[in-house]
Amino acid sequence: MRTAPILLHDIDEPGLASLAVYERRGGYQSLRKALAMEPSAVLAELDASGLRGRGGAGFPAGRKAAFLPQGDMDRYLVCNADESEPGTFKDRELMQKSPHMLIEGIMIAAHAAQTNHAFIYIRGEYEAQARILDLALAEAAAAGYTGEHVLGGDFSCSLVLHRGAGAYICGEETGLLDSLEGKRGNPRLKPPFPAIQGLYQGPTLINNVETLSTMPHIIAMGGAEYAKLGVSGSAGTKVVSVSGHVQRPGNYEIELGTPSREIIFDLAGGPPEGRAVKLWFPGGSSSPVLTAADLDVPYDFDSLAKAGTMLGSGAIIVVDDSTPVLDVALKLAKFYRHESCGKCTPCREGTNWTVRMLERIDAGEATPMDLDIMSSVQEHIIGNCLCVLGDAMAMPIGSMIAKFRGEFEAHMQSRQLAGAGAGAL
Amino acid sequence: MSAVKRYQHGSRVPGWDQAADLDKDPAGVPDPALVEVPAALRAEIEEAMARYPERHSAALPALAAAQRLHGWCSPEAIEQVACVMRVTPAYLSSVASFYDMFELEPVGRHSVYVCTNISCSLRGADALYDAIETAAAGDRQINLRHFECLGACDIAPMVSVDHLYYGPLELADAQRLIDDLQAGREPIPDLALARLRSADPDANS
């Protein structure tokens, strides 16, 4: 059963990116409603909605907003729009087509957490989307939705767009904070968590674009009503980016708990004629892979965790049986090697060694031991770094070795034979 | 196994040979009386600094502005930013070298980033890169680069040309893209991302 889209409800409405059309479609009514409520009441609605963060970690959004300590200090809200997880492009479509929905969500969250400065950290590559947000922010400020005395009331919060400059690691929340402070985007040691000590050492709430864009709808329909969507533990709808070997790649908004098969086949059209699903990433390239046997797993946080993987950023990448698993593994490992910030040794060296071992397998120079060594490298990365970038390579690579070991070995042997044959000539 | 390559300083890691001249004092914060900064660039950087509670936050937008003016983060560009922001050039170099979009060498006027990450490569991005490279045939005005996932897997394989997105490209579009750029036209306008409607059949309901 499909539910009516919430975030994509009128996404292609002509001119939706302008304030006039957004207001005509009912925009900013939720902000008015939220501002008339006590911050604690807004927090209670977010909590009741059961909304879990849409950026990757899936942490309950209401609880996170409530972590910020009370007091007189400057408090910050940062919208993480550094969408860089391979396979993910939902935030891009939301920001490009409905920037005011994000701005409204940010101001609702800012009121709930009582922050006085808010930032949108958008990846530098999203220049077209940043220009659209520039215009929308100017309109929102002129209309009194942001800045001093929002809508004439007591609440004030500035909102500034900040462009990144191309670094995957800046999607990691503490790397993002360093980058926003004008430094290299190296992650920080946690704790202290950003809610206690974040941007400029002040309490900071960080949320993903989709999470914040959902908040106006939660306020409009009420937390309890929103919680009825989806399944227990995974409330609401989710915009899923489907890409790779499918016939209709794109963003699809599904009710959480929808069978994965429905998303991949009914919505995205499945693999091209005559080919079959070999493996798929359920939550971006950092999630452990699943195979054709897992296609009936319900698409929600807990079911995917039970299947040994994660919902992550909600990006399904489908790989069909025409692609060797080694190509996929090598592509990924090279990506993580390139994006490792270099601060922690297990990640910096582990990503490099994984690439080199995969290249050895491909070149026919590997020994059977190399697969075991490569598995143990992955195990030594996980949990041993400041952030999870290394883990984000180790988990999918580890899962590929575990699930496709036979293919790795066959690849190794065929390359060795080919090498021997060439040598004989 | 071949011998491990070592640099002049004996390390296996590059960097020291060029980065540090031990006989020279490190450059301090530039003297405003000695550095000439174009007025428009100065205004843009000062405006950026005013947006943040802390001026250092303007490092990325300031470097981006300088790069737009100079074409790359040249020593001159970095010195100008350092002068207005009142920081050392070394601080800005350390920042600029971290991010993929800052150019540390002179590059061509048009940036062409080809996404060759997983979703695009599953749909032929590596061959597309080769086709664009062949079509560009060494044109030095074209800054052709492999790029990590650009967040547009729905139009894979795709390219970002001067920071706007186009896709999906057939191999034959490579020549058209380069021809358009060389003729000074908007490249492959029929493939611009902006045209795309939502794929969800239930959207807009």
Question: Could you tell me if A31 and A138 lie in one domain?
Answer: yes
DSSP run (H or E) holding A129: helix A127-142
- Chain A within 8 Å of B153 (Cβ-Cβ)? yes
pLDDT in tens, A320-339: 999 999 999 999 999 999 99
Max CA separation in chain B (angstroms): 69
Question: Could you tell me if A332 and A308 lie in one domain?
Answer: no
CATH number of the domain within which A250 lies: 3.10.20.600
Question: Could you tell me if A287 and A253 lie in one domain?
Answer: yes
Count how many pairs of residues, chain A against chain B, have C-beta atoms within 8 Å. Answer: 180
Domain that holds residue A68: 19-228
- Do the beta carbons of residue A165 and residue A152 sit within 8 Å? no
- Chain A within 8 Å of B118 (Cβ-Cβ)? yes
A5 belongs to a structural domain: no
pLDDT in tens, A245-295: 999 999 999 999 999 999 999 999 999 999 999 999 999 999 999 999 999
- Chain A within 8 Å of B205 (Cβ-Cβ)? yes
Helix (H, G, I), strand (E, B) or coil at B194: helix
CA quadruple B119, B121, B124, B126: dihedral sign: positive
pLDDT in tens, A256-267: 999 999 999 999
Residues of chain B with pLDDT under 70: 1-4, 7-20
What one-letter code names the amino acid at A63?
A: R
- Chain B within 8 Å of A89 (Cβ-Cβ)? yes
Say which residues have a Cβ less than 8 Å from residue A413's Cβ, sequence separation at least 6: none
Cross-chain CB nearest to A251 (options B95, B100, B154): B154
Is the complex ipTM more than 0.90? Answer: yes
pLDDT in tens, A367-422: 889 999 999 999 999 999 999 999 999 999 999 999 999 999 999 999 888 877 66
A10 belongs to a structural domain: no
Contacts of B165 in chain A (CB under 8 A): 128
The average pLDDT across A299-311 equals: 97
- Do the beta carbons of residue A204 and residue A195 sit within 8 Å? yes
Question: Could you tell me if A75 and A223 lie in one domain?
Answer: yes
Question: Could you tell me if A308 and A335 lie in one domain?
Answer: no
pLDDT in tens, A159-181: 999 999 999 999 999 999 999 99
Question: Could you tell me if A300 and A314 lie in one domain?
Answer: yes
Least CA distance to B204: which residue of chain A? A10
pLDDT above 90 covers what percent of chain B? 84
Cross-chain CB nearest to A252 (options B122, B150, B199): B199
Interface of A with B in 97-116 (CB under 8 A): 97
Q: Which pLDDT does position A4 carry in this prediction?
A: 85
Token pair of A63, please?
């609880």
Question: Could you tell me if A41 and A155 lie in one domain?
Answer: yes
CATH number of the domain within which A150 lies: 3.40.50.11540
Interface of B with A in 80-99 (CB under 8 A): 94-95, 98-99
Q: Which pLDDT does position B23 carry in this prediction?
A: 80
Q: Out of A200, A228, A256, pick the residue that ends a domain.
A: A228
Do B60 and A183 lie within an 8 Å CB cutoff? Answer: no
Provide the pairing of β-strand A237-244 with A234-235: unpaired
- Domains in chain B (CATH in brackets) are 28-96 (1.10.10), 110-194 (3.40.30.10)
Cross-chain CB nearest to A251 (options B100, B164, B199): B199
Question: Could you tell me if A383 and A413 lie in one domain?
Answer: yes
A13 belongs to a structural domain: no
pLDDT above 90 covers what percent of chain A? 94
- Do the beta carbons of residue A131 and residue A122 sit within 8 Å? no
Cross-chain CB nearest to A252 (options B51, B150, B200): B200
Strand ranges for A6-132 from DSSP E: 76-81, 117-122
A146 belongs to a structural domain: yes
pLDDT in tens, A23-78: 999 999 999 999 999 999 999 999 999 999 999 999 999 999 999 998 889 999 99
Token pair of A257, please?
């708990």
Helix (H, G, I), strand (E, B) or coil at A408: helix
Give me the number of domains chain A comprises.
3
Question: Could you tell me if A90 and A113 lie in one domain?
Answer: yes
- The number of residues making up chain B comes to 205
Q: Across all residues in chain A, what is the average pLDDT?
A: 95
Q: Which pLDDT does position A425 carry in this prediction?
A: 47
Contacts of B122 in chain A (CB under 8 A): 244-245, 317, 319, 323
Question: Could you tell me if A134 and A52 lie in one domain?
Answer: yes
Q: Which pLDDT does position B1 carry in this prediction?
A: 43
A26 belongs to a structural domain: yes
Do A182 and B200 lie within an 8 Å CB cutoff? Answer: no
Question: Could you tell me if A202 and A347 lie in one domain?
Answer: no
A6 belongs to a structural domain: no
DSSP run (H or E) holding B120: helix B118-122
Question: Could you tell me if A112 and A253 lie in one domain?
Answer: no
Strands laid side by side in the A158-163 sheet: A158-163, A117-122, A76-81, A204-208
Do B122 and A244 lie within an 8 Å CB cutoff? Answer: yes
pLDDT in tens, A121-164: 999 999 999 999 999 999 999 999 999 999 999 999 999 999 99
